[in-house]
Structure 1
Amino acid sequence: MGAYVFKLPDIGEGIAESEIATWRVEVGDRISEDQPLVDMLTDKAAVEIPSPVTGKVIELHGAAGDKIAVGGRLVTIQLDSATIEVDETKPAATQSSANEVASRASAGEPASSRWVPDAVADSTPVPAAPSVRKLARERGIDLREVKASGPAGRVLRDDLDRHAAAAPAPVAVAVEDLREPVVSAQPAVQGDDGIEQIKLIGLRRKIAEAMQRAKQRIPHFAYVEEVDVTELEAMRARLNALYPDRPRLTLLPLLIQALGRAIADFPMINATYDDEAGVVSRHRALHAGIATQTPAGLVVPVMKDAQRLSLWQRAAELRRLADAARAGKATRAELSGSTLTITSLGALGGIVTTPVINAPEVAIIGVNKIAQKPVVIDGQVVVRSIMNLSSSFDHRIVDGFDAASFIQRVKALLEAPTLMFIEGA
């Protein structure tokens, strides 16, 4: 009776370690090949790690919240063969996508993918070029399962592409399945003095680490401006009344319209900065990140190509993304790739906020609450709907003058909203 020491494989994204979100098995459990063992957390998603073998769990090398290095011991499984201990370095699992989980589960499909470690696979080498072998490792493909079309049974790159295209849908882990262990996997420690200590793990720790990195590495500066949104609110109300069968318009679709127009003149705002490489990438498309509070913590689903959508398409997409995020069903693609983030606390927005930039972006637009205020216009005191925009910028990339000019452009568009829809205005 031997033991198989299963090590954490490379799960992609270039990460060196991953956090245990929740175990799917316990010591003493009998498990079968492809059975889910553990959910590992990356910066953006959960990754389900299946078992490569059949046997009995005899040791778990870590608890929820612990970080395991790639190649580090994960679980020991009792086998009927000699002890095996290998460094599993090729990808063994697929990225989280709760939407895929839901569709696969409803169709009765198993949420698993086969992965054969080198240590237990047939040792006969498969003819393939080194570049093809490297690509297969990166994709988590066992060359023995690929139909070769090259001479003498040689596997070609095209064979890998065809194999990947014909492969079953990837394993997915619903975020709602992780919510309880992610948020409260570690029991609170109650001291004699009544102090409750809670270890930060899972998504909450990822948020904390991201915020800390952003504040440590990015020299923030804030710019706050009052915006008279009286006409904007009136237009929004008229549009909702005229088109009751369309998605209800909130402020955000209109704000995105103004941002999309403004970044054409200020491309340095709609940018990302790789500070390690020293490279700024300016983006033509506005991929608007929408900071969203969920039961598991703050996430940022992304509205891709937001500048191309109509107001009602934006309204529908905002609702869809927010619902998916709060239900834990946003896919990794929907949580990645933003170029400019909008954060709003709605009715709780206060007077001024100083939002933290969503790295690697170089700016974040904060929306404060709308309030009725007395304003002097042409010597007369009138009541207007006033809202503050509280935005933060990366001073390494954005100068104060450019930030102020950008916000003033957005302000002008919001205060005369018809201009947002006139080309050249």
Structure 2
Amino acid sequence: MEKTQARGLIRPSHQLPQKRSGLVKLLLAAICAGAIVARLQTGSWFLFGVSSTRTTADEGTHGVAVDWDTFWDTLPTRPKLEYTPCFDQTPLGGPFQCARLELPMDYWNGTTDATISLAILRSPAVVPVTDPRYGGVILLNPGGPGGSGVGFLRRGGDAIRKTVDVKDHKHYDLLSFDPRGVGETTPAVDCIKNPTLDHAWQLRVMEEGIFEASDAAIGRLWAMSIARSQSCSLPLPDGEPDIRKYVTTASVARDMLEIVERHGEWRETEARRLLGCVTNVPSTLLYKPEEEKIQYWGFSYGTYLGNTFAAMFPDRVGRLIVDGVVDAYDYKKSLWSDNLLDTEKDLQGLYYHCARAGYPACALANQTSVTTAKGVEDRVLNITYSLYHNPLPVISPSPEVITYSDVKNLIFAG
């Protein structure tokens, strides 16, 4: 099958797909099931290029359904961290706690006195702050930009805790937040004010697929991008502070410094509450103004954010993990070429190791003859291209159709 490489994208030759084998159907069913489960668990189309910013209801404290529009909008915004229980206990930690933190909209130029209300979620350590095994707080960012830290910690907190906690040695608070303009943090960057219309628009974008999904897709996606982006830049009513001017990476890094400071305050207050005393608090628990250091784990764009923090505040870095590192130059130029090249390298590694392991360790390997990396690659491409004209229907209580674009996006994002 003829194919052309253009910035890491493969353009199909539009040949009619061949009939799927039973093994191919099984493989695609597994891919589809994973995509559906991820979508149901996250309530998000993020892997396919669309991310829901708000959840409407969920299980809150004591199993009571929480309407997030009501909960977050009524949670008071404070200049200090004042936590409220907001989710049931997780398998590996205590009940989640929520807070809203008041921070300046403009830190540096004095263009406005307006503030933001930062939505913060905390997964408490399994030991109190007064326990010698308490290791402090780890601040998390899932990437994006625009990823919800609140949603990320809720869904992935236990997996993070399994990685960072060491039994009988160190246990950490896990803390994340919705960056300014995102999710439950207010004011939000809302380009389409009506949530129903916004969701419908996102579904339209998703259904168009990737650029090569059809002869018309690139023109439609370009027009929709122009319409949304330019509508998002329309001026606000006079006197209304414009958060769109202050959603820079530097501003988010500055917000992180404030979170670190406010956590230091909270840590000392919590220690005094637990010890029942005003004095004799261990020095390691005392708040150290302008000296508190960050412990941070950032993924994808979160690596760019973490490196920005380190460049702005080098003396405030304790430990910093950058996971899935973004090339800063490539990112700033909006090229994303490294992402495509690295994805292709990963795929070549998959083909090689599949051939090395053979069948049945790798379902894509030949059952009756020698497997080569090129043979595995051809099989993956044939499976993918077969969906171009014949998407795979998934019969279930939540029916689905898995398309060529879905699989390409899943490979790229997964």
Smaller-chain TM-score bracket: under 0.3
Query: TM-score, structure 1 length as denominator?
Result: 0.19
Larger radius of gyration: 1
Query: TM-score, structure 2 length as denominator?
Result: 0.20
